[in-house]
Amino acid sequence: MILDAQQVMDLQFWIALLMIIILSNLIVINNYKITINQAPFRKTMLIFLFMVTAIACVNYFYVSRTPGSYIHRWDIYHTYMGAKYYEELGYDRLYECSIYFDSQYINFYEDLTRVRDLNTLQYIDASEIKNNSDCELLFTQDRKEEFIEDLKFFNSLTYPQYWNRLFRDKGYNGSPFYTFIVSNIFNNIKLGYNNLIILSMIDILLIFTAFYFVYRAFGIWVALFALIFFCVNFPARFVHMGGSILRFDYLAYLIIGVCLFKLEKYKSSGVFLALSSMLKIFPVLFVAGLGLKAFSDVLTKRKIDKKYLSFFSIFFVAIIIFFILSISIGQGMDNWYNFFENMEMHNQQTAGFRVGFMHMFMFSGEITEEDPWTSYAEKQNMLEARIGYFYISIAIVVLLLITLMPFMKDEDFMIIFGTALFFFIFASTRYYYALLVLLFLLQAKCNKVIMMMLFTFTAISLWVYSFNKFDAFIYNYFVSFLLLLFFITTLFCLLINNRENINKYISVIKQKISL
């Protein structure tokens, strides 16, 4: 029996609640100085966690996908067509040429009315494209015929009204390096449903590979708790991006990179973090955290540790190689300029399915769909009017992180710096909050408390969403607020756990100043 969407989320809620109970008991056990290894129920607990993990994974990776079509047709259309025909279309002509060639050779979108102009992100009448396009000039005859055949295939997966919604999205937005990778895949395979199913499995393989590295670096307990959380994490539900092609690759490489650093494989770590950074850009925040740690090490020891030299030398070499590959297609160096210009326009305003601290400065009272709505343009004006407070808040967070930096392990600081700043700086689409799983890799004394808080956060979110499905309230405000509360509490826990070291550090500084 296939569960419906609410039953899937109910199961996730109960799994999250169960993990809260287990972790709270483990915290009590540790307080009595009994380790998991000494506890008589170790094997029983491991078997039980394996069973829960299996249920959570089946529910997440299979049951939660759209019934009737495992592949994510909406996303695969954008990824496949946008990357494969990037040299002809760039970032701003995917919808235009799809609509134009359909009108000339297929006529599947006969009832299409309004579409988004990817040059301006404004809506225009579809007839303007059908009657005024030079798409014929962008393609050779062979590529045009191939494009039309690919369109026919995607039409066969959907119904005409589907495109009325799809063509109001914001187009293809993959980085030039991501485009280089997937365009080479798509230009060398035959487009077909079975092939798309196989390609969509790559993400799942990468995710399980990443958690294997978690097991190798942090142990079986952390790996199981982290994987269970990945499968119940509310903002990053699989239904949003599951069945897509290479949508979780950046996260897998990021996790593997952190694990390799923990395993003292610094050069390999540099390669994987370079991969992740070139695919999605924002993972460079994690590298920046490690860079600050290395800089701090230089200031205190007057020399740089070999591990940092190994990591950063390979990281920058890999970045250069990946950059060269990324400009070997399309418009060369302009690929990156066009990408950042496209993303700047794409992120000018937030949306109902985005999560991030900046929404705390945009709240105007909407809790349900029936409440009077303030447009996102007006909300952006609210943020700009309060931008000073926003930057001050970020500065306080950075100051707290720098205060903790000398007393944290390299990989711990990398994780907390990257995830915290990602949340505080950006308002990203909900599925990018799969990044929260990295917090399970923290080795601080309060790591089980942090894990329990994350499961509590997701259980509360799932419960509230069960009776209020208004995206703007749930993601912009409720989930963003819970995450804010979580990060404040986490930073406080880390400060408390390091208070003795911080006090000693302050005393040493005072002595040096007095001298």
- Tens digits of residue pLDDT in 491-514: 988 888 877 666 665 565 556 555
Q: Is 131 inside any structural domain?
A: no
Confirm if 135 and 93 have CB atoms less than 8 A apart: yes
Cα–Cα nearest to 16, from 453, 380, 347, 415: 453
pLDDT value for 515: 52
Q: Rounded to 5 degrees, what angle do the CA atoms 148, 71, 250 make?
A: 100
pLDDT value for 512: 55
Residues 86, 330: Cα–Cα separation, whole Å: 7
pLDDT value for 422: 97
Q: Is 423 inside any structural domain?
A: yes
Going residue by residue through the chain, which has 515 residues, state the pLDDT in tens, using 9 for 90 and above: 577 888 999 999 999 999 999 999 888 776 655 555 555 667 888 899 999 999 999 999 999 886 667 899 999 999 999 999 999 999 999 999 999 999 999 999 888 888 999 988 899 998 888 888 999 999 999 999 999 999 999 999 988 888 999 999 999 999 999 999 999 999 999 999 999 999 999 999 999 999 999 999 999 999 999 999 999 999 999 988 999 999 999 999 999 999 999 999 999 999 999 999 999 999 999 999 999 999 988 887 888 899 999 999 999 999 999 999 999 998 899 999 999 999 988 888 899 999 999 999 999 888 998 888 888 989 999 999 999 999 999 999 999 999 889 889 999 999 999 999 999 999 999 999 999 999 999 998 889 999 999 999 999 999 999 999 999 999 999 999 999 999 999 998 888 887 766 666 556 555 655 55
In this structure, what DSSP letter does residue 465 have?
A: H
382 burial level (CB within 10 Å; 0-12, 13-18, 19+): middle
pLDDT value for 498: 74
Residues 201, 197: Cα–Cα separation, whole Å: 6
Confirm if 326 and 275 have CB atoms less than 8 A apart: no
Confirm if 248 and 75 have CB atoms less than 8 A apart: no
Residues 9, 233: Cα–Cα separation, whole Å: 10
Confirm if 59 and 11 have CB atoms less than 8 A apart: yes
Q: Is 490 inside any structural domain?
A: yes
pLDDT value for 316: 97
64 burial level (CB within 10 Å; 0-12, 13-18, 19+): buried
Residues 484, 334: Cα–Cα separation, whole Å: 37
Q: Is 135 inside any structural domain?
A: no
Distances (CA, A) of 88 to 120, 129, 207, 234, 392: 19, 17, 32, 38, 44
Which tokens sit at 81? 């067509």
Residues 304, 302: Cα–Cα separation, whole Å: 7
pLDDT value for 79: 96
Q: Amino acid identity of 328?
A: S
pTM of the model: 0.94
Task: For 389-408, write each residue's pLDDT tens digit.
Answer: 999 999 999 999 998 898 89
Instruction: Determine the structural domain holding residue 273 and report its residue range.
Output: 5-63+200-505
pLDDT value for 35: 56
Confirm if 371 and 465 have CB atoms less than 8 A apart: no
Contacting residues for 77 by C-beta, under 8 A, at least 6 apart: 154, 166
Q: Is 457 inside any structural domain?
A: yes
406 burial level (CB within 10 Å; 0-12, 13-18, 19+): middle
CB atoms within 10 A of CB 30: 14
Confirm if 412 and 258 have CB atoms less than 8 A apart: no
Residues 391, 394: Cα–Cα separation, whole Å: 5
Q: Is 140 inside any structural domain?
A: no
Which tokens sit at 287? 């590298």
Q: What total number of domains does the chain contain?
A: 1
pLDDT value for 244: 94
Residues 118, 321: Cα–Cα separation, whole Å: 30
Q: Amino acid identity of 506?
A: I
Residues 241, 247: Cα–Cα separation, whole Å: 7
- Dihedral, 141, 145, 146, 152 alpha carbons, nearest 10: 160
pLDDT value for 504: 61
Q: 3-class SS at 134? A: coil
Q: Is 211 inside any structural domain?
A: yes
Q: Is 404 inside any structural domain?
A: yes
Q: 3-class SS at 122? A: strand
pLDDT value for 130: 86
